[in-house]
Amino acid sequence: MNVEKNNGLRLLCIDGGSLFGIVPLKVLQTLKDRTGKEPHELFDLICGTGTGGILALLLGVLKVPIKECMQIYEPFGKEMFKEVFRGGKFIFSKWIMKDYSKARTENFEKKMKELIEKYSGNEELRLEDVPPQEGLTPRVFVIAQRCNCVYLFRNYEDTKDKFTAGTNKVTLWEAARATSAIPTYLNPIKIGYQTFAGSGIGYNNPAEKALTEVCRIEAWKGQTVDIIVSLGTGVISSQLEFGTSDFEKYLVALADDCDRVARDLKIQKPDLYFRFDVNQGISGFRSDAQRFINTMKMATEHYLYEPNIRARMDRVISKLCERKPKEKPKPKEKPKPKKNDIECAVCFESINQENSYTCARCKKTFHTNCIVQWVFTNSSHTCPLCRHKIEYCDKFKV
């Protein structure tokens, strides 16, 4: 068995997708049921954008259990995205989106702060307050935009581009707001003197960015990637039936972008890249929020039972479970004295005859300094082993 391969890096990448975020959660629930471990225990890096970014923060930084995350996300998603459901169909009117964006933004911030307060005790918890720890906290980043350039909010800073293309000097709710600020839905957020918005076209599937980030992390220099688990949200561009509004066009472009990245990585890294994306039963569905969520759950369950998907999941489970634990470094052994050397009975280091004292009764030999320290510490002029009177101390008036 190849130890280097088994101890390679494991990456979890989650697409953006508003209410569709229930899909990756169902896939992660399957991983939890089969491995018995939460995502923060299985992966070295968890990243996401939009909805995927929120999930990355909940699962990787706050370490919310999958079961609780499912319970949190449903009411959270319905509350945040309820305006897009009206009259039994999706409403993506530009006027409606603009009308609700300010109130929705305030509501989003309030809900995120409540979640962070619940699981950390501090609604202003910063990313730098939860640094990565091997086996406890994975590295986490979410993607946003600054001046039309990609920008990462991370819980670490040991990268070659720290403070220029990413930072950990923000709160969790600010990072969640920034990655979720999609056009016409949530307003951009100003942090310090900079304005941030959602990652947009090019990074809705964050898998490519995750591979780039691995190369920038100094602590991972020379490390190999063992597996990339990429979770889609079921938004397939060919199944979208929207009109011509800006928001509708934006959703179609995001879906096309996710598909492109997935196709490229399947070709480039077929043995490392594992994509799970429900490709039917979701994208064409139109109904109220609760019914929509229920349909997504059912479609994802059916998807995971397909023979080829089950085989893919088996391979993922095998890779995630076969990693060998890192061996703890062996403590350095003190050099053993040579056969002709004399060993001090106190410190067990070799000594020479000129700087030593030998007890008349037990015949054990000690360093002069060891005996002097023993006498001063214990106020006793006796051998540390046999308690015979030490004449050496009397002679030198210790």
Diameter of the chain by CA atoms?
105
Indicate whether 394 pLDDT > 50.
no
Determine the Cα–Cα distance for residues 89 and 94; give it in Å rounded to an integer. Answer: 15
pLDDT of 160-170, one tens digit each? Answer: 776 678 889 99
Q: Which amino acid is at 68?
A: E
pLDDT of 40-65, one tens digit each? Answer: 999 999 999 888 899 999 999 999 99
215's CB contacts (< 8 A; 6+ apart) are: none
Tell which wins on pLDDT, 102 or 25.
25
Res 325: pLDDT: 53
Q: Which of 12-21, 113-122, 186-195, 270-279 has the lowest mean pLDDT?
A: 12-21
Q: Where are the extended beta strands (E) located within 155-287?
A: 166-167, 189-191, 194-198, 225-231, 273-276
Q: Which of 286, 198, 278, 276 is nearest to 240 (CA)?
A: 286
Tell which wins on pLDDT, 128 or 343.
128
3-state SS assignment for residue 210: helix
In the 8-state DSSP scheme, what is residue 331? P
Instruction: For residue 138, count CB atoms less than 10 angstroms from its CB and return exposed for 0-12, middle for 13-18, buried for 19 or more.
Output: buried
pLDDT of 234-257, one tens digit each? Answer: 655 444 444 445 555 555 555 556
**Residues present in the chain in total:** 398
Find the distance separating the first CA and the last CA of the chain, reported in whole Å.
63
The tokens describing 235, both together, are: 């938004």
The tokens describing 83, both together, are: 């305006």
**Residue 367 parent element (H or E):** strand 365-367
Q: Considering the chain, what percentage of its residues have pLDDT values greater than 90? A: 24
Res 264: pLDDT: 74
Res 335: pLDDT: 53
Q: What are phi and psi of 66, to 5 degrees?
A: -55, -45
Res 61: pLDDT: 94
Tell which wins on pLDDT, 99 or 209.
209
DSSP string, 287-308: --HHHHHHHHHHHHHHHHTSHH
The tokens describing 185, both together, are: 């839905």
The tokens describing 297, both together, are: 């759950």
Pairing of strands 149-154, 365-367: unpaired
The tokens describing 112, both together, are: 């995120």
pLDDT band at 354 (very low <50, low <70, confident <90, very high): low
pTM exceeds 0.85, yes or no: no
The tokens describing 274, both together, are: 């594992």
- Do residues 13 and 205 make contact, with C-beta atoms less than 8 angstroms apart? yes
Res 93: pLDDT: 43
Q: Which amino acid is at 74?
A: E
- Do residues 240 and 255 make contact, with C-beta atoms less than 8 angstroms apart? yes
Indicate whether 25 pLDDT > 50.
yes
pLDDT band at 32 (very low <50, low <70, confident <90, very high): very high
- Do residues 63 and 38 make contact, with C-beta atoms less than 8 angstroms apart? yes
Q: Which of 50-54, 77-81, 275-279 has the lowest mean pLDDT?
A: 77-81
In the 8-state DSSP scheme, what is residue 131? -
Indicate whether 180 pLDDT > 70.
yes
3-state SS assignment for residue 365: strand
Determine the Cα–Cα distance for residues 309 and 383; give it in Å rounded to an integer. Answer: 75
Distances (CA, A) of 354 to 83, 158, 329, 331, 393: 91, 53, 38, 32, 16
Please name the residue ranges forming H helices in the chain.
Answer: 3-6, 22-35, 39-42, 51-56, 66-81, 94-120, 172-180, 207-216, 246-268, 289-304, 307-321, 368-378, 391-395
Q: Which of 179, 156, 176, 174 is nearest to 166 (CA)?
A: 156
- Do residues 175 and 190 make contact, with C-beta atoms less than 8 angstroms apart? no
Q: Tell me the average pLDDT across 213-217.
A: 90
